[in-house]
Amino acid sequence: MSDDQAHYPPVDVVSVGLRGRCPRCGEGALFNGLLSVKPECGVCGLDNSFADAGDGPAVFVILIIGFIVVGLALWLEVNYSPALWVHLIMWIPLSTILSLVLLRVLKGLMIALQYRNKAAEGQIDRG
């Protein structure tokens, strides 16, 4: 990641990440479509080649959505004992929609945190 020499006012990383905005200026869109990151910010020109959230957002999505859906499904089963098709109709669409929404939000948050903390690939110093 190159050194950032421009002077921009500090932005709230959590707010910018959750809204999917540029981590430097807070104005430009971070995403091109649902989950693909734009090559650069349309407002300040920040090169987004540093942005690599990896599998981090997916892990958090699996844990959070799994906890919510499994908890609700168990509660429904214990209290009402519905047929299997009721579970399928309820939990598959809910899991899919929540996963896509939360994946975008968490990916934006992780990219904003990468920018603020100047996260980069580890390098071995062979001096």
Computed on alpha carbons and rounded to an integer, the radius of gyration of the chain in Å comes to: 19
Q: Is the pLDDT of residue 5 over 70?
A: no
Q: What is the C-alpha separation between 3 and 127, in angstroms, rounded? A: 23
Asked whether the CA dihedral 81, 85, 90, 94 is positive or negative, the reply is positive
What are the residues whose beta carbons fall under 8 Å from the beta carbon of 102, sequence distance 6 or more?
A: 60, 61, 64, 65
The reported pTM is 0.84
Domain that holds residue 62: 13-117
- Give a yes or no: residue 60 inside a domain: yes
pLDDT of residue 3: 60
Burial class (CB in 10 A: 0-12, 13-18, 19+), 49: exposed
Angle at 67 between CA 66 and CA 72, to 5 degrees: 100
- Give the helix ranges, DSSP H, for the chain: 13-19, 56-80, 84-117
Burial class (CB in 10 A: 0-12, 13-18, 19+), 21: buried
- Give a yes or no: residue 89 inside a domain: yes
How many separate domains does the chain show?
1
Assess contact for 25 and 43: CB atoms under 8 A.
Answer: yes
- Give a yes or no: residue 127 inside a domain: no
- Give a yes or no: residue 76 inside a domain: yes
- Give a yes or no: residue 86 inside a domain: yes
- Give a yes or no: residue 40 inside a domain: yes
- Give a yes or no: residue 122 inside a domain: no
- Give a yes or no: residue 109 inside a domain: yes
Report, as an integer, the average pLDDT of 9-28: 93
The string of pLDDT tens digits covering residues 44-100 is: 999 998 888 889 999 999 999 999 999 999 999 999 999 999 999 999 999 999 999
